Structure 1
Amino acid sequence: MNRTIRSAALAMATVGLTLTLVAPAPAAAPTPRIDLKVLVVSDGGPATAAIAAELDSAGTPYTLVDLNQAGRPVISAGFLADTVSGRPRAKFQAVVLPNDNPFGEGSAEMAALATYEKTFAIPQVDAYTYARPEVGLNYPANGGYSGSLDGARAEVTAAGKAGPFGYLDGAVPFEDNSPTVGESYAFVAKPVAGADFTPYVEAPLPGGQERGAIVGEYRHDGRRELVVTFVYNQYQQQYRLLARGIVNWMTQGVHLGADRNYFAVHIDDVFAADDRWDSALNCTPGDVDCPPGTGQTDPIRMTAADAQYAAQWSQEKKFTLDMVYNGGGSEVFKQQNGGADPLAARLIADKARYRWVNHTYSHPYLGCVQDTSVVPWVCAKNADGSTKWVSRAEIGAQIRDNRAWGQRAGLPLDTAELVTGEHSGLKTLPQQPQDNPNLAGALTDNSIRSLASDNSREREQRQIGSALTVPRYPMNVFYNVGRAAEQVDEYNWIYTRKADGGSGICENSANTTCLDAPLDPATGYGEYIVPLETRIAMSHVVANDPRPHFIHQSNLAEDRIAYPVLDAVLKAYGDLHADNTPLVNLRQSAIGKELTERAAWQSAVRSGRVTAYRIGNSVTVQAPSGVRVTATMPPGTVQNQLLGSTPFGTPYAGSLSGWTAPALLQNQVSLTVPGPVLASATTKQADPVAEPADELPVPKGVRSRVPYDGTR
């Protein structure tokens, strides 16, 4: 009996052992690796080009497949995904298509994309498509609208504010810059009954209070699509307002690159006086555009009251102006006015309200020696015919003397910053096609690292001696006017035809700045120039462009004509953006650093030297040594150190963004993002309705840039 019990026990143990061996716990499937790169499939239209431009600007890596290009890669399962070290890899974190299916019915490429998106939970953006049931919307004929949205006011919905467009206050106004050009065609529609469609941006439907979707998320068949049903290009304000949200939606808030809204304003010639436009001579006596000895000089200079107003304005608007100063201007005023300078006393008393930038001591031209005996001026020549240049010693003295004057006045300076008068020393076409060869040495002698340049002449940064240039946007509020009527008179002279009393540069010109008729001197500034300059400045502000704008001290004097433009820009921005998306107002050296780091990063991205991916909630970024990494991540993201972690980035527009580098003893950036990864979409089917139109209308709608007239 004992033998039987022992045999049974042994048998049971053997069975148990056998069961354990044949039924092990299943191994967990590895979490996929998602590369932080976007796939942009383009048909050559403006919508995909606009999204690609946003990715370029932010520094977000993407691969472009041009459907019009012979020999383009075929989109297949192998093109989209593979395996790395035994782990499934999605090569793209998002897909941008020109519409919901640019390949046609039954396409193997579209089938491969759909499978890929379902497998890896990859979002898809339909850059511009019809409103129809295939994208979760009714046809416009079924209670919607198709046509122009020029001048319309779209609105971000509650879901849009709670989601990808939470950085906007609500309004998305559509531009209407020309009564003769259609700028934004749209299909405005309501979701199909039963479709899982969430409107994010809606536009008004004609004839009532109802609205229809123009941007929304459609979830179906395990996929998520952002459906956009209005046409746009990369320059239009309505797109610029939505671009950040489109990228954040498709990347699920985790992507390389960053987008912020910048506005800085330099006030040149502070403490100096500016020559005044002569409406009879149509030139500026005392300056190089008038023949020598003609006209009466009547310079424009701020008063102490103007300075007091500037300080109050800056405080009320919570906006810091950059005072670009010439200390010698104050000394000249003292010599001519009994030794006192109330303007300088007031500005220096309020010095902490501003940033201050060296503009040379007496604002001379620091390029070639100018021969002003002719108009336009030419470079003076030496006896051997070579160009006569301002010397290295003179350039250096102008830098040092003004720096010393500012230090004696207690101005809070960054001594490495410099703005030369009229950006002189740098090449100036047509008279001076090269830099003053003495400029680089003088900059190095005086440890200048940040040198202003004119963005209308050269947009990109470049190295000159020890300095990198910072291109500045000139505003068409002229240096030689203090009153609105003077501004209008000079504007009319430049931008009207000879038959209208103008200079004639607009003869047979398609330039959009040229006027059909002269502006009214009494109303032209407020009714035409201010709105135009506001729109141009806003186009820079919302384009992720940190370059500063510049005007002159004369524009803060007399009629104080700068303030209507600045007020309009600040109001327009504030009306459109939520409190979590403030204007970024940087000083010149910080702007230069941002441009430099962007250039290095974008060069690394475009040359394929950046590798970045997400596995679950872990993000890894490998960049070339010395190249800092820029990224946008969800709130709560931390950067992992060798021991512990530190917060990543700074808050902006509902995300964290910023520049970083590998931690100590690490060769890559390691981040941890909070919360779960978004899952695949739910599935709901749309009901069939009537047939759509055959083609998407694509209006011209590309606004050309307004040129600068070249005044300093």
Structure 2
Amino acid sequence: MKRTIRTTALTVGALIAALGLQAGPAQADSGTPRIDLRVLVVSDGGPATDAITAELTSEGTPFTEVDLTSGSRPTIDAGFLADTVDGRARAKYQAVVLPNDNPFAAGSAEMSALAAYEQTYGIPQVDAYTYARPQAGLQVPTTGGYSGSVDGVQAQVTAAGKAGPFDYLKGAVPFEDNSPTVGESYAYLSTPAPGADFTPYVQATIPGTTTQGSLVGEYRHDGRRELVITFVYNQYQQQFRLLARGIVDWMTGGVHLGSSRNYFAVHVDDVFAADDRWDTQLNCTPGDVDCTNSSGTPSPIRMTPADVDYAAAWEQSHNFTLDLAFNGSGSVDQRADNNGVDQLADKFIADRNQFRWINHTYTHAFLGCEQDTTVVPWKCATNPDGSTQWVSRQTIDDEIANNRAWGQTNGLPLDNTELVTGEHSGMRILPQQPDDNPNLGPALTDSGVKWLGADASRDPAQRQVGPADTVARYPMNVFYNAGKASEEADEYNWLYTSRAQGGSGLCEDNPTTTTCLPAPLDTSTGYQDYIVPLETHIDLGH
């Protein structure tokens, strides 16, 4: 969703000032202060200010951060906040974010400087997480309010919130409750203090009453405006993700550099290729280097024409298009083994315009270092002088070009500037390969690739690889080697239960793993009842 600049009731001169531009004599009076499009974030290292800086970073909105815990931080005074440029007063920041309504000691000169700055230039202040008290425009929670857990609470956007910074929200704001044994959300719910000019934007029912208590609201006093937030959060929680855009819009009046966009796409990798199938008896995947094979190897997984019909019908019923990352050699091999017949490819090609298509290389080859799989885990093969053996530029060129040619021959609608390499290979993979394959960037140049899929779990920040910008993809915890719901649940049980429960013990060895199970899932119902809701929550959370 693209954020538009709101210009209602702004004169040309005021808009220029808000945009921080140098206006000529015919554009604005030289006495009109210039306000730069930059936010000042005063942080105490807590999760709330970190969450707001994460949102500013995501939107591309410039900010300066002052760390209150640093002994070398600058002093916040009048000179730090404002100056004069070409004889014109300049406010260096269009908004101020504080960890609470006043993080400084009593009588602080820095807080006085901030208050004066906000009054002089009309600069709004966000209190990232503060206690409900009269200094923030609210009654203390002991006066008919509440302080405590709000796990699972369904907060509501008020009419003022819908008419203002949270106009993009259409329903409730649910607070996460992922675990019955872990407190995830804490808040102060309270009503405006007597005589306070306070407007709630997001509120919830105070437990034991029918009264609504504010969670987010605007407090106007002493010529200043504060957005008062009385619940704690981090950047990953659903309640913050829903409100983050509105917090930035409130502090900037909707006029800021950058934009807020939300995308959701599902990439289905390895289309046309066959995958090895999870063995529920061996608890591994035959064909993998760490799996001891035996008789009765499970049949490989490959889609059928009926699966294509199902996927196309699902898209239409959900108004959602799947992105298919394909490997053309999978169809070539299928035809070679079946007298030229590949019913799956024929069906996909006939229905090709029902989907979007992404080049995933021809054979799904590993395009980083040459892998030495004689050891577990594998390592990079080396030359006699100890240097790394890299997959060649020509090999990478061929993988991209051959798949592109196969797709074009079969009429797939391709964007040749996009590429997802097999396993995101070619890019760094820790611990075995700490550096990109030096041949990857030149090969991308050869092929005209501008967008390169990356694994967000190991390469979350966008960066350049040769001529291409990376696009982080979040891996789903639905396994490539599971072709049935029961196989997915069985492998899930193996990975995420204790050794005593028949599992791998991964969670015992790595207690920070977030998907650990208290008990094995029922393999007949666990996928639909447990894995799907959890993955939906995680995926939409991104």
TM-score, with length taken from structure 2 = 0.87
> Aligned in 2, Cα 1:77/1:358: closer, same or farther, shift over 3 Å?
closer
| Alpha-carbon distance between aligned partners in 1 of 2:112 and 2:435, rounded to the nearest angstrom | 56
Say whether 1:357 aligns with 2:353: no
| Alpha-carbon distance between aligned partners in 2 of 1:111 and 1:315, rounded to the nearest angstrom | 59
Per the alignment, residue 192 of structure 1 pairs with 193
Q: Answer with 243-252 or 292-301: which moved more.
A: 292-301
How big is the shift at 1:89?
Answer: 2.0
Specify every segment of 5 or more residues in structure 2 that has no aligned partner in the other structure, as ranges. Answer: 1-28
Deviation per CA, 1:680-709, whole angstroms, max 9, x where unpaired? xxxxxxxxxxxxxxxxxxxxxxxxxxxxxx
How big is the shift at 1:492?
Answer: 1.5
Write the letter of the residue equivalent to 1:516: P
Q: Answer with 409-418 or 467-476: which moved more.
A: 467-476
Q: Where does 1:136-151 land on structure 2 (aligned, <5 Å)?
A: 136-151=137-152
> Aligned in 2, Cα 1:302/1:256: closer, same or farther, shift over 3 Å?
same
Say whether 1:260 aligns with 2:273: no
Per the alignment, residue 272 of structure 1 pairs with 273
Per the alignment, residue 539 of structure 1 pairs with 541
Deviation per CA, 1:597-647, whole angstroms, max 9, x where unpaired? xxxxxxxxxxxxxxxxxxxxxxxxxxxxxxxxxxxxxxxxxxxxxxxxxxx
> Aligned in 2, Cα 1:429/1:50: closer, same or farther, shift over 3 Å?
closer
| Alpha-carbon distance between aligned partners in 2 of 1:143 and 1:536, rounded to the nearest angstrom | 36
Q: Answer with 341-350 or 292-301: which moved more.
A: 292-301
How big is the shift at 1:377?
Answer: 4.5
| Alpha-carbon distance between aligned partners in 2 of 1:123 and 1:447, rounded to the nearest angstrom | 46
| Alpha-carbon distance between aligned partners in 1 of 2:529 and 2:175, rounded to the nearest angstrom | 19
How big is the shift at 1:245?
Answer: 0.8
> Aligned in 2, Cα 1:527/1:433: closer, same or farther, shift over 3 Å?
same
Say whether 1:326 aligns with 2:355: no
Write the letter of the residue equivalent to 2:519: A
Write the letter of the residue equivalent to 1:56: T
Say whether 1:342 aligns with 2:343: yes
Q: Where does 1:152-551 land on structure 2 (aligned, <5 Å)?
A: 152-291=153-292, 296-370=297-371, 372=373, 375-377=376-378, 390-436=391-437, 438-511=439-512, 512-540=514-542
Q: Secondary structure at the match of 2:201?
A: strand
> Aligned in 2, Cα 1:234/1:469: closer, same or farther, shift over 3 Å?
closer
Per the alignment, residue 86 of structure 1 pairs with 87
Per the alignment, residue 78 of structure 2 pairs with 77
Q: Where does 1:8-23 land on structure 2 (aligned, <5 Å)?
A: none
Q: Secondary structure at the match of 2:177?
A: coil
Q: Secondary structure at the match of 1:481?
A: coil
> Aligned in 2, Cα 1:267/1:340: closer, same or farther, shift over 3 Å?
same
How big is the shift at 1:107?
Answer: 3.1
| Alpha-carbon distance between aligned partners in 2 of 1:492 and 1:34, rounded to the nearest angstrom | 57
Per the alignment, residue 643 of structure 1 pairs with none
Q: Secondary structure at the match of 1:256?
A: coil
> Aligned in 2, Cα 1:56/1:317: closer, same or farther, shift over 3 Å?
same
TM-score, with length taken from structure 1 = 0.67
Write the letter of the residue equivalent to 1:116: Y
How big is the shift at 1:405?
Answer: 1.3
Deviation per CA, 1:568-604, whole angstroms, max 9, x where unpaired? xxxxxxxxxxxxxxxxxxxxxxxxxxxxxxxxxxxxx
| 8 Å CA contact retained: 1:291, 1:375 | no
Point out the structure with max Rg over C-alpha: 1
> Aligned in 2, Cα 1:531/1:448: closer, same or farther, shift over 3 Å?
same
| Alpha-carbon distance between aligned partners in 2 of 1:383 and 1:80, rounded to the nearest angstrom | 60
| 8 Å CA contact retained: 1:131, 1:229 | yes
Write the letter of the residue equivalent to 2:324: M
Q: Where does 1:575-586 land on structure 2 (aligned, <5 Å)?
A: none
How big is the shift at 1:486?
Answer: 0.6
| 8 Å CA contact retained: 1:492, 1:518 | yes
The number of equivalent residue pairs is: 513
| Alpha-carbon distance between aligned partners in 2 of 1:47 and 1:446, rounded to the nearest angstrom | 44
How big is the shift at 1:392?
Answer: 4.1
| 8 Å CA contact retained: 2:48, 2:128 | yes
Per the alignment, residue 567 of structure 1 pairs with none
| Alpha-carbon distance between aligned partners in 2 of 1:429 and 1:101, rounded to the nearest angstrom | 43
Q: Secondary structure at the match of 1:101?
A: coil
| Alpha-carbon distance between aligned partners in 2 of 1:437 and 1:475, rounded to the nearest angstrom | 29
Q: CA RMSD in A?
A: 2.6
Per the alignment, residue 117 of structure 1 pairs with 118
Per the alignment, residue 67 of structure 1 pairs with 68
| Alpha-carbon distance between aligned partners in 2 of 1:218 and 1:368, rounded to the nearest angstrom | 58
Specify every segment of 5 or more residues in structure 1 that has no aligned partner in the other structure, as ranges. Answer: 1-27, 541-712
| Alpha-carbon distance between aligned partners in 2 of 1:262 and 1:137, rounded to the nearest angstrom | 37
Deviation per CA, 1:227-274, whole angstroms, max 9, x where unpaired? 111111222111121111111111111111222112122111111211
Deviation per CA, 1:108-129, whole angstroms, max 9, x where unpaired? 3333322222222111112222
Per the alignment, residue 565 of structure 1 pairs with none
> Aligned in 2, Cα 1:386/1:281: closer, same or farther, shift over 3 Å?
farther
Q: Which has the bigger relative contact order, CA under 8 A and spacing at least 6?
A: 1
| 8 Å CA contact retained: 1:291, 1:373 | no
Q: Matched residues, percent identical?
A: 68
Deviation per CA, 1:34-62, whole angstroms, max 9, x where unpaired? 12222222233222222222222222222
| Alpha-carbon distance between aligned partners in 1 of 2:102 and 2:77, rounded to the nearest angstrom | 15
| 8 Å CA contact retained: 2:368, 2:437 | yes
| 8 Å CA contact retained: 1:379, 1:432 | yes
Q: Secondary structure at the match of 2:507?
A: coil
Q: Secondary structure at the match of 2:325?
A: strand
> Aligned in 2, Cα 1:429/1:172: closer, same or farther, shift over 3 Å?
same
| 8 Å CA contact retained: 2:278, 2:298 | no
| Alpha-carbon distance between aligned partners in 2 of 1:448 and 1:85, rounded to the nearest angstrom | 45
Q: Secondary structure at the match of 1:529?
A: helix
| Alpha-carbon distance between aligned partners in 2 of 1:374 and 1:302, rounded to the nearest angstrom | 32
| 8 Å CA contact retained: 1:416, 1:448 | yes
How big is the shift at 1:439?
Answer: 4.1
> Aligned in 2, Cα 1:469/1:126: closer, same or farther, shift over 3 Å?
closer
Deviation per CA, 1:639-661, whole angstroms, max 9, x where unpaired? xxxxxxxxxxxxxxxxxxxxxxx
Write the letter of the residue equivalent to 2:529: E
| 8 Å CA contact retained: 2:267, 2:322 | yes
Q: Where does 1:611-622 land on structure 2 (aligned, <5 Å)?
A: none
| 8 Å CA contact retained: 2:370, 2:390 | yes
| Alpha-carbon distance between aligned partners in 1 of 2:295 and 2:384, rounded to the nearest angstrom | 29
Per the alignment, residue 37 of structure 1 pairs with 38
> Aligned in 2, Cα 1:279/1:115: closer, same or farther, shift over 3 Å?
same
Write the letter of the residue equivalent to 1:522: S
| Alpha-carbon distance between aligned partners in 1 of 2:385 and 2:255, rounded to the nearest angstrom | 63
> Aligned in 2, Cα 1:362/1:98: closer, same or farther, shift over 3 Å?
closer
| Alpha-carbon distance between aligned partners in 1 of 2:293 and 2:411, rounded to the nearest angstrom | 38
Q: Answer with 387-396 or 189-198: which moved more.
A: 387-396
Per the alignment, residue 132 of structure 1 pairs with 133
| 8 Å CA contact retained: 1:34, 1:90 | yes
How big is the shift at 1:371?
Answer: 5.2
